[in-house]
Structure 1
Amino acid sequence: MSLYADDDLLPSDNLAQASHPSSSTLAPTDPVSALAAALAQPAESIQQAEALQAAGQRYEEQPEKLPELCGRLLPMVVDGGESLLRSWTLEMVALAVGRSSLQVDVKSAVAQSSLDALNRLLHTGSIATIKAVIPIFSTIHPILFRILATSRPPQPIYDAFMSSKARILSFVLDPNAQPQNRGIKAAAWKFLQKVLLVGTRAPPADPRLQRGGSSSHDISIAMIGRDSPLNIAVLEEEVKLLQTQLVTQMFSSVDPAILHPIFNIIPVLCKARQPLASLLVPSMAHWTPAALEVAQKPAMQIRAVERALRAVLGHLGRTSIMASFHAQLNQAIVQQKQRMDLAFVKEQQERQLRREQRHQQSQTVPIPPAAPLAVKLEPAPHAVTGVKHPLEPESSADGAKRARRERQEADVSRLPLHAVVDAVIAGLGGVSADQLKKIFESAKKALVDQTPDAVPLLAVALGIGADGVKAEEDEVVNPLDMEVDDDDDLLFDEALPEEIEDEEITVTEFHLPTPGPIETGEKEELVTGALERICLSGDELAGLPDVDVKDGVALAVQPKEAWMLLTARLATRGLAGKRKAISEYISADFANRSKFAAVWLNEEWYSDMLNKTTNYPSHLDAVLSTLISSVEAKDRSLSSFLVSLPEIPPSVISTLATLCQEPERGLVGFIALRELIETRPPVRPIALNRLLELCTHPDRKIRYPAIKTVNRWVPESAMASAVIEYALGIMRRLVPASSEAEGADGMAVDGEKADEKPLPTSSFLTEITPDTVQQHVELAFALSRRRQEMLDDIFALYPKLEEPIAEQVESLLTPLVQSLGASPRLLEVLRHFPQGADKLALRVVTILSGEGASSVLVNLVKGLMSERELDPRFIIPIIGELDKAEIEKQIPRIVSLLGTADSRDLVRTAFAAALQKLTPADLLVSLHDEESGRRATVEAIGICFSMTTVFRSDVLATSLSRITDLPTLPIVFLRTTIQAVTTYKSLIPFIANNILPKLITKKVWENPPLWDGFVRLARMIAPASFGSLLQLPKEHLRDLLERQPGMKTGLRSYLEGKGMLKGQVNELFGEE
């Protein structure tokens, strides 16, 4: 990835959806078409959920298409959060490898192809996903075990198999495994059952094998071959450990939700693997709910666990395979029944005791002796038949009857005797004889009929025998004969009384007694239990789709989320002590409870505003610390959560800045900061400042995403000006203090001169060295890609920099220039670059011409060369684009570069480019103009001779011949000729017969430097040069021989061989 590309930090992870959703509610018969129709519906809507359900039915009808679906769709739902599509895809995978009618080899192929994706999903933090994936692994574990036991598949299959097994078993073995969820643990125990089955050898007498006729379907370690990557000894040790953990958890676990799956997996283990039965059956027989009682679990939960155990014991006791254990199982069942009966009686006694204590606390003050009873006798209304609903409001008559029943239980023996007598006499004094007679008859009838109004103490006084009154018996219910719903009936152990018709006595003046107070501990238990039930019910509702609002009104809280609002308001306005419990509940599974966290914290903030408290920041920090410790690298839940908060304290910004500096998870922090800056103006200044500081971090892995984050806001956003100003200010720090003070012009922002503002600071910037230059300029360079006006500031800054810093800036500018290309703005900057920025401009020109200079760039450079005294290096990048005449004109300027450091390679490069338009002979002839100085020309000619593949002997011959035809011979010509002869000996005849005669014709002796070279050349190529030397005038021949006396002997022999007389030779040599 590049800072100068327009990509975002994270690619979009949404599945491509059709542009026009289908309006039909009927799914096509073809599964693929049905799935396409489902994907065309709005994401996460009720319509999509229904369409996916219909598509699932089509795939269930045509299972042969499931393998292709799993292979293509499962990898697409691995990344991202929880969704309807992910849940549906996992259901299809479970269908393919489990319930479908596919062949075993097809299921095996699906299991292998899906293993990697399932393993990755298993390591996510989504509870719903993990709960769906573990049962799939329970299904495919024996399949994969068979593959690994009988063959050697690719190493990734084995690695994923071991990784997934370790991950699932950690939920059983590691109490700190995350996420903490009872449903996940229950599914993990089912997986542990599969591991124990395949890790234990099946006995030969297993009845299942006898029915099947083969042991091929019973997968165990007995199948492991020599080539298998599985180790039998390691697996056996693992099974021993799991057996120990199973028994240990059975006795030590205090969570009924864990004990149920433990008991449920035991029957299959005992029947399929007899060696395990000898361990598990005695363990179950000796199990007692001691741990649950110590943990003070409710009696209802303990009974539920006992029932589960009883069901397992009874099932095993009826199985013929377990005949050897029947006596032990029956004894365990009898002991358990006794234990449950005692527990039930004890519970009933405790309930009765609590009721009596509450009743005593609710007793009213005793009636004063002199107070008359306000009793009026009048016909009573007819009783309502049937039993009234417990929640139906009671009438005054019903309340009076209930009050009388309660008063019957009052202990009047504690009142003074005279007070009781006076009260009775005073009450009877207002009753006539007829009314009193009717009262007695009604009381007798009530005693005979056993109505709720009967008073047993009056039986003897009214002449009713003891046989007429039936003592009320408190029936003890056998807990083993109760149904699941009978627990609720136990809460109401008093039957609703049926009213007696024609009742004549009623109380007309009655006040409802004040309810008795509830103990603090019991009150806490009631509230805690209510909150737990609300939260658990809310978790179950989370899978429902959102309500599709058709009137355009967005719902902040969906109907399925109303429990969140209720619980949050209870905690913030009524149950302040439950805040910690809610915080722990959210932290246990933040990924699926982030919405609840947002609702709760919004209520906390509002409560702080009303009550002038400061609970919100502390609870937010607690939730945030838990979230950040478990957030994954590409999880967007953090940013979504923070955006939903009503206020962002500065501490949150600091926490996010710290998270950004983590190499693995920093991307989550950058996305969260970006969302806050864009959507929350109140925290924008502080958040933007922290993000800009991270743009100067010394670690590029942190600096890069920070720059990519702010880069999106330039040039059009509310943050653009602040980002640009900060980038230019940080870059301006590179200027030494003296240069900054001397500079007359400030750099510009938005076309205006920069004000004298203090330079921005960063905690990551210390001293300025070449190594820290990148931290200062990388942000500005990246922003220049989107706002090219900043290039003016870069060029204006460059002349003020010290040499080492400037060189580093040049090298760092390369990626920016490559990404921009020959843009109009960059060319404009080059056309008017400031004095002193020549090297930077040359670097830009060199980069732009790297793959061929455009005509616009060529004209720009040519114009600059004509307007300014620029370095000849400007010509080199574009020389290949000039015509022949222009190249020949610029050759002397290029040659003038020789003599400086590293100039030789630069000139060689220029010559190679020039040869695209010039012939080698043209270039060599041009070099002999000597406009750049004799020394530079000689060095340039030497460069040509070093290019042996280009300047061959024939090229040199042509060049030398053309040079000799020039009106004026160059001084260096003879040196070039001597170098050519030295390089190519084959040129000697050509030079002796063609070049030397031309030189003699041009009277080479008239130019002393040339004559010296001629003499030296003649000696080098002798005797080939003797024939040409005879063309010299006698005096110049004699001068040559005087300079080179060694040539006389050879020349004399040459002449005598030609038949010249000795006297003629002596005369020619000037000898006597």
Structure 2
Amino acid sequence: MAEGDVAVKDKIAQLNQARSLVLQDSKFYPDILKGILPVIVAPSSVIELRRWGAEFLAETFSSPLLTAQKKQELALTCLGPLMTLLNELETGILKNVIQCSSSIYPLIFRYICHNKTDVGIWQQMVAIKSKILSMLDTGAEGVRLACIKFVQRIILVQTPGASDPRLVDKSEVSLTIVPLNHPILNIHALEAEAHGLLDRLLNVFQDGKLDAPIITAILNSLPALVKGRAAISNKILNVLMAYNPIAIAAKSTVFKERFIARSLEKTLRMILTHLARASSQGPHATKIQQQIQRLLQAKSEFSIEVPKSNKRVMTASDTDSVKRTKYARNDEAEYTPTPPPPAIQVHPSNGTTYKTLFTLTGDQALSNFDVSQLPIDMAAQITLATMFSVNQEALEASVAAVRQRLATLVAAAAKIPAASQPQAPQLDDDDDDYIPAEGGSTAAPPPRAGADRVVYSEDSDDSYEVKDLIQTTAESKAAAMDLVKMPDLSPVQVQEACEGTLDRMFETITTLDKPGKKERAGFGRLAPASWDRDSWITVLSRLSTRGLSGIDADIQAVATENRMHYETLSSQIRQKLYLYIMGDFRTRMDAAVSWLNEEWYNDKLQALAARQDEDITPLEPQYAKWMAKVMDGIFPYLETTDRNIFLRFLSELPAIPAAVLGNIRGLCLDPERSNLGFLAFQYLCMLKPPVRQEVLDIVEELWHNHNDVKNSARKLLVKFRPHIVGLPAKEPAAGAAGVS
């Protein structure tokens, strides 16, 4: 037995050397894989070798070092060994084999699409698929989790992909690549099988059970199906939006199930949030947000603790010993006064502490309770609830009692001999914050100046004596406080600090909820009040245009002196604004409009100041530069469905630079988006008179030189330049002569 163990260890050591070799150079994969397969599937091989072989196969087909074509060639040689390893009983081997099968299933499917006569390969793959699907409900937990990943891959492969040729990924495998007359692959049967497997996965959300690992694995596998397969996305989203684990666990009295429900609710909410961000313009975006709000509401009303139905009956002795004071929340309700706080002997020399000064209860156990042991959230909730329910009369009585105690301490301190007590300074004009206690004695002198300060010692904990509060020396009151002047920051440090601040500001903007449909604020939007996303954009736009001019000037002066380049802070803000808008330009077009209008207005102010004062050097105009950059960023992604967004964007811009007109000309020459380009030109001709002649010059050039758009260009020319197309010029309407 010992010799056998040594031999197995030697073989595994040799196999590990082979693995290191292929990790260094992937060209050795075919030779080493062909040499390893007979060893790991031999009847005489031990379980350690099979376990190593299954792990190596999973690594091979998930490695990014191999191309898809090379993986497909290797997959054809591994079907037999995979079927052999699926007969093992060990969970670790089965998990790796199923993971490997998930990787090679799309490869074999693509191979069969192009090799219609290789029936044997497809029969082997079908046998592997049937074996794995049989373990989906009966296997060990780890095996079932691997089977869920395999089922997800089958559904992706056996359902139609994107139908638009522009959106099709050539590396994607779906029913779309299967020929209609394929002799082996039946499109309808494969799609029906995929829908059946999808129903098996979704049934877990309807059986009322809380199997956390299985449900979590299925939840994590669904986003790829929703985003990649439009044909089944509606079904999946409807099931997810109807599922609420909190509602299932609310009926349970088992702590474990209630705890699992909280975990599943968080996972479900994160997935719905991810899907809502991925399809912010989709038809289900509003419903998903509503479901997220419902989950948050259910979570706030749900407690992990098991509700107790059996309560102890209060006895007569409990009734006598426990006094429950009811506080009314309105002035009309009856108020039961609280008993007066217990009297304490306060004296500066008897060790009186803040604790004894402010303690208003006679319960020794309650007064000795360490509040610092409570979690911060719980302490905050208790404090807020107490402040909301406290009675005004009780609060005033408690404050008066503490004032009386403090006045007694001050009076006692005044009787200490002058030799042992430093002389108190005279009251300053600003020491008028003392208010005598209501109903208290007016003979008690007010606290001396500096009585609101505390002298802390390093070896003390929470027993700061009140006599330290009272016996504050006149020298500490009169001592001047000289603040140390902070060193000036270098331009590099200023830039680093500002970059960190900008990053935090944009993180705040991205976390804000998408603003709902609301009325325009008019001039009210010029001053941010609600601090929503629009307010932050306004602040950043003002900073980039006018708010940092002085700081940028200092930075440029230092850069000129040191012959070094420092990027101005305004340029940093503009670049971050541009990247923010490009992140999702369809929903952030209003932010682009706000920013570019500020840039245009600032350019006008700079030009006006330069005309009025010859000593002022106008800065480089920024509006045309960033307007063209924004347009260059969004034009490659514009679709015909973006008509309303694009036209609204053009309508709210103060000026249309020539570079933007050139971009729209490119749209006109795009066969897919030509209508959008000419629609934009028509809008500019009708409602933007300053650029009308430039637009018509471009349309005229298109009519002369491009036959494929000649008809579209002719429609505009007939209306605005009929003589170009051989029609008589139209008489301008009365009162419209100055419009053109």
What range is the shorter-chain TM-score in?
A: 0.3 to 0.5
**Larger relative CO (CA 8 A, sep 6+): 1 or 2?**
1
TM-score by length of 2: 0.42
